[in-house]
Amino acid sequence: ISVFNTVPQAPPDVIFSLTAGYKADTDPNKVNVGVGAFRTDDLKPYVLPVVKKADTILFNNADLDHEYLPIAGTPSYTKAAARLILGENSPAIHENRVAAVQTISGTGSIHTGATFLSQFYKKSKKCYISKPTWANHRNVFALVGFEVEEYPYWNGEKRGLDYEAMLNTMREAPEGSIFILHACAHNPTGVDPTREQWQGIAEVMSEKHHFPFFDCAYQGFASGDLDNDAWAVRYFVEQGFELFVAQSFAKNFGLYGERAGNLTIVTKSSEETKRVFSQMEKLQRSEISNPPAYGSRIVDIVLNDPALYAEWKENLKYMSNRIIEMRKALFERLTALGTPGTWNHITDQIGMFSFTGLTASQVKVLKEKYHIYMTDNGRISMAGLSTKNIDYFAKAVDDVVR
Ligand code: PMP
């Protein structure tokens, strides 16, 4: 009898099984609005032109080798990543209160941060995630032993942020709880707090000494403006918080499979930063020894070259604009069709996703009758829509909500 006899079957990953279903579908009109990866208007993966240029520079470098990177990653990369999120003039950077560790994309960054907190964060074993959130928040924090709780976020009736309920949960949470906050372009709802609301959130979190753990997977991809998308994180730093930021370069560099990420750490003093960093290195050593090189080399080249950096911003604008255009196009078509309900939330929302408000049973009909694939919660990836399929999509939505 096998030693694995008692291992139960785990459920398949929702997103990846959705994609498998889409691939197997032979209908010519099929639409995949499930997966969260950018697509061009031809619905093809997009290699950023600036990434192609960085590739050429990288592979023309006669000194390129395949040695191990330092345990915490390449310093020019981690420094540039920290600068990108915190801002050139961040008080924390000037006061040497910032450490950064190269991680395996955003997921690895959340995992490294969560594992560190599970060892060294003594104030609370409770970690709060938004309801709803990206499924991996719960997965990762539960895996390293946190009690995962939810804070209200999406208000289905308002089709917007449940701000007061969110603040109330923050007020009632035990002192020093950890709160996972989406820095921008909340996944799955596409709803971000306004600047005024972020100020209110910071105030309550400060009163309750909660620890902010920002997840930043869409900087520059959301609004097309890197500084705008970093506003909340920078505001919290200005307010004197110690915090973690998990950064992913999957979306904003289109480096999904290359797993380029960074964990930016802000503490109260350079003394603390040094000790925290030493433990991060120790942790990283036991988990992965050294981070993967390729994706980070691309990001390193671009972030540290003014001309390429400027070009990257243009590439970001192209991606964010296409998404924003698709929001407008969908809104216009649903309005023109007189589709029952209000749809302005589609253009109000930001980032890769829109939380449409479609119910699980409507989602089912969309799949069975129209070969349109989305998650049961009615979340659509705007990048799955194009000028070619938007009419088909809007008509299908119109049909299922009637
Ligand atoms: N956080 C959120 C909210 C995300 O949507 C994603 C990407 N799906 C990530 C983190 C990180 O993904 P990755 O590990 O591919 O960088």
pLDDT band at 146 (very low <50, low <70, confident <90, very high): very high
Q: From the CA of 337, how far away is ligand 1's center (Å)? A: 35
- Model pTM above 0.95: yes
pLDDT for 137 beyond 90: yes
Q: Which atom of ligand 1 is nearest to the CA of 249?
A: 16
Query: Which residues belong to the active site?
Result: 134, 215, 251
Q: Is the dihedral of CA 138, 160, 184, 258 positive or negative?
A: positive
Which single residue is written with the structure tokens 């799949």? 367
Q: Residue 361 and residue 179: Cα distance in Å, rounded?
A: 32
Q: Within 10 A of 54 (CB to CB), how many other CB atoms are there?
A: 23
Average pLDDT over residues 250-270: 98
Count the neighbouring beta carbons within 10 Å of the beta carbon of residue 8: 5
Using a 6 Å cutoff on CB, does residue 187 contact ligand 1? yes
Q: Which residues contact 291 (CB under 8 A, 6 or more apart)?
A: 69, 73, 102, 103, 104, 108, 284
The answer to whether the CB of 248 is under 6 A from ligand 1 is yes
217 lines ligand 1 (CB under 6 A): yes
Top mutation candidate among 15, 248, 352 for ligand 1, by most atoms within 8 Å of CB: 248
The ligand 1 atom at the shortest distance from the C-alpha of residue 137 is: 1
Over pLDDT 70: what percentage of the chain? 100
Whether the CB of 350 sits within 6 Å of ligand 1: no
User: What percent of the chain has a predicted confidence (pLDDT) above 90?
Assistant: 97
The mean pLDDT of 359-386, rounded to a whole number, is 96
Q: What ipTM does the predicted assembly reach?
A: 0.98
Is pLDDT at 52 greater than 90 in this prediction? yes
Q: What's the pLDDT score for residue 224?
A: 95
What's the CA gap between 12 and 21, in Å, rounded? 12
Opening angle at CA 255, ends 226 and 301, nearest 5 = 70
pLDDT at 283: 98
Report the atom number in ligand 1 closest to the C-alpha of 248.
16
In the prediction, which pLDDT does 14 show? 84
pLDDT at 17 over 90: no
What was the pLDDT predicted at 15?
Answer: 84
**pLDDT for 174-215, tens place per residue?**
999 999 999 999 999 999 999 999 999 999 999 999 999 999
* Residue 217 confidence (pLDDT): 98
Q: What is the mean pLDDT of the chain?
A: 96
Residue nearest to atom 7 of ligand 1 (CA): 217
Protein residue whose Cα sits closest to atom 4 of ligand 1: 217
With a 6 A CB cut-off, is 102 part of the ligand 1 pocket? Answer: no
Q: What is the mean pLDDT of residues 49-67?
A: 97
CA pair distance 161, 197, nearest whole angstrom: 10
Burial of 245 (0-12, 13-18, 19+ CB in 10 A): buried
Ligand 1 centre to CA of 106 (Å) is 5
* Position 35 confidence tier, pLDDT thresholds 50, 70, 90: confident
Give nearest CA residue, ligand 1 atom 12: 106
What the block records as the tokens of 336 is 């023109």
Name the residue of 14, 105, 255, 375 whose CB sits within 8 Å of the most ligand 1 atoms, as the mutation to test its pocket. 105
pLDDT tens track for 307-318: 999 999 999 999
